Structure 1
Amino acid sequence: MYHRDGHIHSPYCPHGSSDSFKQYIERGIQLGYSEMTFTEHAPLPEQFVDPVPLKDSGMKMAHLEKYIDDLTIIKKEYENDIKINIGLEVDYIEGYEKETTDFLHEWGDMLDDSILSVHFIQYSPGNYICLDYSPDSFKYLIDHYSSLETVYQRYFDTLNLSITSELGPFKPKRIGHITLVRKFQELFPRTFEDNVYIQKILKDIKNHNYSLDVNGAGLIKPHCKEIYPPLLYIHEARKLGIPLIYGSDAHAAKQLGQGLAECKHILY
């Protein structure tokens, strides 16, 4: 059976584990993977101030060349066992489109496969918060907007911008964890329906011929407990003809395969 994991982090993740590339790959082979894409968090734009306390949301720019070099060597080493792709998880940050385009122009031809994700919400001009960093950061947004639904609207509006923004020829064609805003849903339950927002995002993805990150990480988040996006919307995406790419979003080798059992009947 064809098992591709298109969203995997690495020892270069500043907020992940120190598990080696070989530990990830050997675990992937044990799980029956035939293809793996390492999608480390890309370096953030130089002028962007990372809002999380440890400033560790993205890889350091000084490490990027070594990351690519390491993967170039290891993909050759394992070429008879498994297909390894060099990738990045690129942040879409509203207001930093030019910087992101310039970054992709410089590094994009060295990548095999990448993801475009939204983690940062601009809640006032020049001020950002990492939506999924902690319940406290999420509550800060609710307090700022005085409404949970407005936070959802703001997230999906930013996600829409990530899909529609022109970021050059190397723009990632897969959109990451589109229901990340639900990460703390058990702490901050909805009293409104978010279906219309998610359906619009799926249509936007379809209209731009992008693919969807079917992300198992939400299932193990203690206040989320569902795949990003939930199975209902994975079915909807399939009906629309959107390519579905499973991603464990693993930040440690032991996390490979998370959520796959729950969604593989749709994917394969």
Structure 2
Amino acid sequence: MKRDGHIHTPYCPHGTSDSFESYIEEAIEQGYQQLTFTEHAPLPEGFVDSTPTKDSGMKRSLLDSYVSALQMAKKNYQNEIDIKIGLEVDYIEGFERETTEFLNEYGPLLDDSILSVHFLKKGDSWHCMDYSAELFEEMIHLYGSATAIYETYFHTVAQSIKADLGIYKPKRIGHITLVHKFQHRFPCEKNFTSELRDLLLAIKEKGYELDYNGAGAIKPLCQEAYPPIHIAQEAYKLGIPLVYGSDAHQAKDIGQGRSKMDLSLLNE
């Protein structure tokens, strides 16, 4: 079954206004049989978005409309493609209670979701690590090195895997090497193979899936999937289900990166 488990929507505040139908029709044209829409969930109550545009998550007031629109799409396309209702939920260190409360409220409405790390905590501040190369460079000055950012990122991903976020915690871990997004401009001196191996073992122990994300493969400063092929192969050997995710933020992004990935590893 050809599946895309990571797709954004017109409800994304930093995406496009492409309709659900345009995403779905593009996916059907490409031969997909199942889609999970995973819009960026609202950020936790009390958390202040540190990005310049303050648009990392959808507004909480739009959630009911989002779910209703997808319920209608499921019905309208039920004979053509299997549509799942999901969210991409941010794990933000220090906001575990608020995230759990949110999931307890909205989790029953979801079919399939992703848990991702975008924000890193340093002292009393949080920084969106993948917003832009310019902000990543600012973080290098703040953290002291790209290596320090990588260390914080992988530590935070490990926390996200282990965190108790209740019974509706997402069971798929999003783009575990997102920190590589700007690696060709800001190379990291340390090899994190051991840390990635530990993350895979933790994912395996929890029985989670792994987002095999094609977006990085088309990013000019990354040029590899999240995670890269050798890490994906290691996950496959461990028996971790890998689910392709286009991470599409516009309809034409459906299928992005697939040609640069090892498709034999996918849980399809």
Question: Could you say which TM-score interval applies, normalised by the shorter chain?
Answer: over 0.9
Structure 1: where are the runs of 5+ without partners?
A: none
* Counterpart secondary structure, 2:26: helix
Deviations 1:170-196 (A, max 9, x none): 000000000000000001112221211
Residue pair 1:10, 1:252 contacting (<8 A) in 2 also: yes
Aligned counterparts of 2:21 and 2:47: Cα–Cα separation in 1: 32
Matched, 1:212 2:210: yes
Instruction: Output the amino acid matched with 2:111.
Output: D
Deviations 1:194-216 (A, max 9, x none): 21121111111111110000000
What corresponds to 2:241 in structure 1?
A: 243
Aligned counterparts of 1:263 and 1:14: Cα–Cα separation in 2: 31
What corresponds to 2:121 in structure 1?
A: 122
What corresponds to 1:18 in structure 2?
A: 17
Between 1:131-140 and 1:87-96, the stretch displaced more is 131-140
Aligned counterparts of 2:115 and 2:198: Cα–Cα separation in 1: 17
Deviations 1:29-55 (A, max 9, x none): 001000000000000112110001111
Cα distance, 1:147 vs. partner? Answer: 2.1
Which of residues 194, 198, 201 is equivalent to 2:199?
A: 201
Instruction: Output the amino acid matched with 1:37.
Output: T
Cα distance, 1:141 vs. partner? Answer: 2.0
Deviating runs (4+, > 6 A) in structure 1? Answer: none
Structure 2 length as normaliser, TM-score?
0.98
What corresponds to 1:102 in structure 2?
A: 101
* Counterpart secondary structure, 1:105: helix
Same amino acid, percent of matched pairs: 56
What corresponds to 1:231 in structure 2?
A: 229
Alignment of 1:1-268 (within 5 A): 2-125=1-124, 127-261=125-259, 262-267=261-266
Instruction: Output the amino acid matched with 1:183.
Output: K
Instruction: Output the amino acid matched with 2:220.
Output: P
Structure 2: where are the runs of 5+ without partners?
A: none
Aligned counterparts of 1:189 and 1:56: Cα–Cα separation in 2: 27
* Counterpart secondary structure, 2:49: coil
Instruction: Output the amino acid matched with 2:75.
Output: K
Aligned length: 266
Instruction: Output the amino acid matched with 1:207.
Output: E
Residue pair 1:123, 1:141 contacting (<8 A) in 2 also: no
Aligned counterparts of 2:160 and 2:189: Cα–Cα separation in 1: 27
